[in-house]
């Protein structure tokens, strides 16, 4: 019987991989990473996937240390008392220590028409879908990126580099978390690329329609493709409501080795 300490890492993104690789350096520890996808997704490449310059997928064998086990699955419940993680696909995995590294997701467009006509960018599947839409969209067609934070800035820049006409709707200040000098540099860089930065009071998007976005200041901007890069949320897996004590059966149906 394996007497090593069992460490389970929920989430195989940057944080989960770094933690797993660090912990596995101890001889007395067995590390398992649970992640829904078979491959590592370097999320900070997703805007490049949208622009067609990166596929944003890396084999876990390139990033996970030898000996770390990968379970392809989604943690649906954490039972902190029984120390088990229940998988959405069925079965559960026991642990002595759990590392919680589930990252974030796009909270989704909240304004009328956005769920229907705007494309999020924050997950692999969303970025792939958007890439496909852009492939079918003529380069001169107007593209609007909603969200003046880092993801919006990077996405707008990437698409402008492809020669697209991009408007970046900030809903307020461009790069609200940037130092003023970094904000000036970002604006200069975006302007040089041809991005129209639409910032200031009342520049929040109030509605998205087929072929247009509406702003709080009354303007309507033509937009053949509208990209939603505003608003991130966190999974509620660790919410007290979600952490409960189910009866657990141990099964590792989706188990693969890294």
Ligand X SMILES: Cc1cc2nc3c(=O)[nH]c(=O)nc-3n(C[C@H](O)[C@H](O)[C@H](O)COP(=O)(O)OP(=O)(O)OC[C@H]3O[C@@H](n4cnc5c(N)ncnc54)[C@H](O)[C@@H]3O)c2cc1C
- If binding is defined by CB under 6 A, does position 183 make contact with ligand X? no
- Are the CB atoms for 134 and 233 separated by under 8 Å? no
- For the record, the structure tokens of 234 come out as 């966190």
Among 5, 6, 15, 108, binds ligand X (CB under 6 A): 15
- If binding is defined by CB under 6 A, does position 41 make contact with ligand X? yes
Q: Rounded to the nearest whole angstrom, what is the least distance from the CB of residue 18 to ligand X in the complex?
A: 8
- For the record, the structure tokens of 94 come out as 């026991």
**Binding span for ligand X by CB under 6 A among 35-43, 163-171, 187-195, 220-228:** 35-43
- Are the CB atoms for 17 and 105 separated by under 8 Å? no
- If binding is defined by CB under 6 A, does position 16 make contact with ligand X? yes
Helix or strand (DSSP H, E) at 80? none
Q: Which is nearer to ligand X, 40 or 214 (CB)?
A: 40
- If binding is defined by CB under 6 A, does position 36 make contact with ligand X? yes
- If binding is defined by CB under 6 A, does position 78 make contact with ligand X? no
- If binding is defined by CB under 6 A, does position 130 make contact with ligand X? no
Site string for ligand X, 141-160 (x = CB under 6 A): ---------xx--x------
Q: Rounded to the nearest whole angstrom, what is the least distance from the CB of residue 237 to ligand X in the complex?
A: 5
- If binding is defined by CB under 6 A, does position 190 make contact with ligand X? no
What are the phi and psi torsion angles at 231 (to 5°)?
A: 90, 105
Q: Rounded to the nearest whole angstrom, what is the least distance from the CB of residue 14 to ligand X in the complex?
A: 4
Burial of 130 (0-12, 13-18, 19+ CB in 10 A): buried
Q: Rounded to the nearest whole angstrom, what is the least distance from the CB of residue 200 to ligand X in the complex?
A: 24
**Half-sphere exposure (Cβ direction) of 245: Cα atoms closer than 13 Å:** 2
Q: Which is nearer to ligand X, 43 or 183 (CB)?
A: 43
Q: Rounded to the nearest whole angstrom, what is the least distance from the CB of residue 53 to ligand X in the complex?
A: 13
Distances (CA, A) of 24 to 41, 59, 177: 21, 19, 35
Q: Which is nearer to ligand X, 98 or 214 (CB)?
A: 98
| Dihedral angle computed from the Cα positions of residues 173, 178, 182 and 185, in that order, rounded to the nearest 10 degrees | -30
Helix or strand (DSSP H, E) at 85? strand 84-87
The whole-angstrom distance between residue 83's C-alpha and the CA centroid of its chain comes to 28
Among 74, 204, 206, 248, binds ligand X (CB under 6 A): 74
- Are the CB atoms for 11 and 103 separated by under 8 Å? yes
Q: Rounded to the nearest whole angstrom, what is the least distance from the CB of residue 169 to ligand X in the complex?
A: 16
Q: Rounded to the nearest whole angstrom, what is the least distance from the CB of residue 228 to ligand X in the complex?
A: 11
Residues 6+ apart with CB under 8 A from 150: 175, 177
Give residues in contact with ligand X (CB under 6 A): 10-16, 34-36, 41, 43-44, 46-47, 74-75, 101-104, 121-122, 150-151, 154, 235, 237
């Amino acid at each position: 019987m394996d007497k090593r300490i069992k460490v389970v890492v929920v989430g195989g993104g940057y944080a989960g991989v770094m933690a797993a690789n660090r912990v596995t350096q101890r001889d007395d520890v067995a590390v398992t990473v649970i992640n829904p996808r078979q491959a590592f997704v370097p999320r900070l490449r997703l805007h490049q996937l949208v622009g067609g310059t990166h596929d944003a997928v890396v084999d876990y064998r390139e990033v996970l240390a030898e000996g770390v086990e990968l379970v392809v699955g989604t943690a649906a419940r954490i039972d902190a008392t029984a120390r088990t993680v229940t998988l959405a696909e069925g079965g559960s995995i026991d642990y002595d220590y759990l590392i919680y590294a589930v990252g974030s997701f796009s909270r989704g467009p909240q304004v009328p028409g956005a769920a229907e006509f705007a494309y999020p960018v924050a997950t692999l599947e969303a970025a792939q879908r958007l890439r496909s839409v852009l492939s079918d969209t003529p380069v001169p067609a107007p593209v609007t990126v909603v969200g003046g934070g880092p993801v919006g800035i990077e996405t707008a820049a990437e698409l402008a580099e492809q020669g697209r006409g991009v408007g970046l709707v900030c809903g307020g200040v461009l790069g609200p978390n940037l130092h003023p000098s970094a904000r000036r540099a970002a604006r200069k860089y975006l302007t040089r690329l041809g991005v129209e930065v639409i910032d200031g009071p009342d520049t929040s998007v109030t509605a998205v329609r087929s072929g247009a976005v509406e702003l709080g200041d009354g303007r309507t901007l033509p937009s053949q493709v509208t990209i939603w890069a505003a608003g991130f949320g966190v999974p509620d897996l660790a919410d007290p409501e979600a952490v409960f004590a189910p009866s657990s059966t141990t099964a590792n149906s989706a188990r693969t080795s890294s």
